[in-house]
Copies of this chain bind each other. A is one copy, B any other.
Amino acid sequence: MSVTLAVDAMGGDHGIVVTVPASTGLLAELPDLHIRLVGNADLINQALSQVPSEIKSRITVVHASEVVTMDDSIEVALRKKKDSSMRVAAEQVKEGLAQAAISAGNTGALMAISRYVLKTLDGIDRPAIAAVMPNQLGRGTIVLDLGANADCEAIHLLQFAQMADVMARAVDGIANPTIGLLNIGEEVIKGNQVVKEAGELLRQSSLNFYGNVEGNDIFKGTTNIVVCDGFVGNVALKTSEGLAYMISGLIKEEFSRNWISRLMALAAMPVLLRFKKRVDHRNYNGAVLLGLRGLVLKSHGSADKKAFTTALRRAYEGAKNNMVGKVADAFMVTHATNSHNETVA
C-alpha cells in the first residue's frame, strides 16, 4: 500500500526552504511515498524546478492562497483564513486524498483546525499532543499531553494513556507498552486530586500500568509512555528544552574561551560530535495530534530539513500502520456510546 502525505509547505519559521527539500529527500528514499505539497503553487513549483522527474511524478502541488502565522489567534486561523495551507492540508486527509497531514505552523491553530476539519474519534473527549522525548536507553519516551489541554479530568488522562498505547504499538512497534502516570515525589504529597483519580482509573484498566513516575523518569526511560495533563507536559517539555539549550551554550562557551580551549575542542571534536548526535532533538521531531479522525503531525516551528524529515517519516509510519484506524478500533470496543464531536467553527 502506498502512502500519501499532505505537507503544509508554508508552515514553520523557514517554510518552503525546509519543507520542500525534506519532502523530496524522503520521496527519494521511499518509493511508495506520495506527497501533496500545499501552499503558494508558484513558490512551490519554483522550489521544485531542479527536482528529478521521477520524484516530481510522486508530488502533487495543491494551491492554498493564505498562510496561518505564528501570531494568528485561533479565531483568525479558524474563521478568517479558510484557504490557509494548514487548513487545506488537513482537508486533504478529510477528503481521503492523503493519509496524514504535517505542519510546522502554529500549534494552537493546527489543533483547532484539525479538530474542526477532521473531528475527534468516537469515545474521545479531548485530542492530545504526543511526542517522543529522548531517554537514557536510546529508545525515547512517549509523553502526552504536551499542551492541548491545560485543564484535564482523570478520564482524559486515561484516554491519553489508551491512545498512546495504540500509538506505541502501531508506530513504534512496542509489544506491550508500559505506562507511567506523571506525579510528584512520594516523600511529598502524592499528587493532586486529578492525578490520584487517574491512578485509580489506570489501575482498573486493561493497560500495562506501571504506576506513578516522576519527572526524571522521562529521561531514565522507566516506562514507554508517560501521561500528564497539557499544562504539566508543556512545562516539562519547555523546561527540558531550556536546560538543554543552556548546557549546550555553556559547552560551546567553555570550548571557545581562548585558543587553548579551542584547540581542545578541535581535539575532542569526534567525541563531541558523537555526543551531539545522541542528544540531537531533530531525531525526535514530530508530535502527533492524537484522537482525531485522521492523522496530523506537528513539527517544531524551527525545524530544519533533518528535523522536518523526522516528522515526515513519523507520519509515514503512522499512516502505513493505520494508526488512526487502530485508535478508533480500541475506542470503539471500550467506549461505543460516548461520542463528543464538537464543532468549534
Binding site for B on A (CB under 8 A): 70, 106-109, 111, 134-136, 147-151, 182, 184-185, 187-193, 195, 214-220, 228, 230-232, 234-247, 249-251, 254-255, 257, 260-261, 264-265, 267-268, 270-271, 274-275, 278-279
Q: Is the CB of A254 within 8 A of B274?
A: yes
- 13 A-B residue pairs with Cβ-Cβ distance under 8 Å, sorted by A, are A106-B187, A108-B185, A134-B246, A136-B246, A136-B249, A215-B237, A215-B238, A216-B241, A218-B242, A250-B278, A255-B268, A255-B271, A267-B267
**Extra A-B contacts (5), CB below 8 Å, given A106-B187, A150-B189, A231-B232:** A150-B191, A214-B238, A236-B236, A251-B275, A254-B274
Contacts of A238 in B (CB 8 A): 184-185, 214-216
Q: Is the CB of A242 within 8 A of B219?
A: yes
Q: Is the CB of A241 within 8 A of B268?
A: no
What residue in chain B is nearest A270 (Cβ atoms)?
A: B264
Contacts of A237 in B (CB 8 A): 215
Question: Pick the contact of A245 from B148, B150, B219 — CB < 8 Å?
Answer: B219
Contacts of A182 in B (CB 8 A): 235
Q: Is the CB of B271 within 8 A of A265?
A: yes
* Closest CB in chain B relative to A148 CB, distance in Å: 7
A150 to B70, CA, bound (A): 33
Q: Is the CB of A235 within 8 A of B215?
A: yes
A185 to B148, CA, bound (A): 10
* Closest CB in chain B relative to A230 CB, distance in Å: 7
Say whether, besides A188-B108, A278-B254, A235 and B228 are in contact (CB < 8 Å). Answer: yes
Max chain B Cβ within 10 angstroms of own Cβ: one of A107, A147, A215, A246:
A246
* Closest CB in chain B relative to A134 CB, distance in Å: 8
Say whether, besides A187-B70, A235-B182, A254-B271, A242 and B265 are in contact (CB < 8 Å). Answer: no
A153 to B250, CA, bound (A): 37
Q: Is the CB of A241 within 8 A of B215?
A: yes
A261 to B237, CA, bound (A): 31
Q: Is the CB of B242 within 8 A of A239?
A: no
Contacts of A218 in B (CB 8 A): 239, 242
Q: Is the CB of B216 within 8 A of A184?
A: no
Q: Is the CB of A234 within 8 A of B184?
A: yes
Q: Is the CB of B215 within 8 A of A242?
A: yes
* Closest CB in chain B relative to A240 CB, distance in Å: 5
A187 to B106, CA, bound (A): 6
Question: Pick the contact of A279 from B149, B193, B250 — CB < 8 Å?
Answer: B250
Contacts of A268 in B (CB 8 A): 255, 264-265, 267-268
Q: Is the CB of B240 within 8 A of A191?
A: no
Q: Is the CB of B108 within 8 A of A234?
A: no
* Closest CB in chain B relative to A263 CB, distance in Å: 8
Q: Is the CB of A216 within 8 A of B242?
A: yes
A304 to B147, CA, bound (A): 37
A9 to B257, CA, bound (A): 41
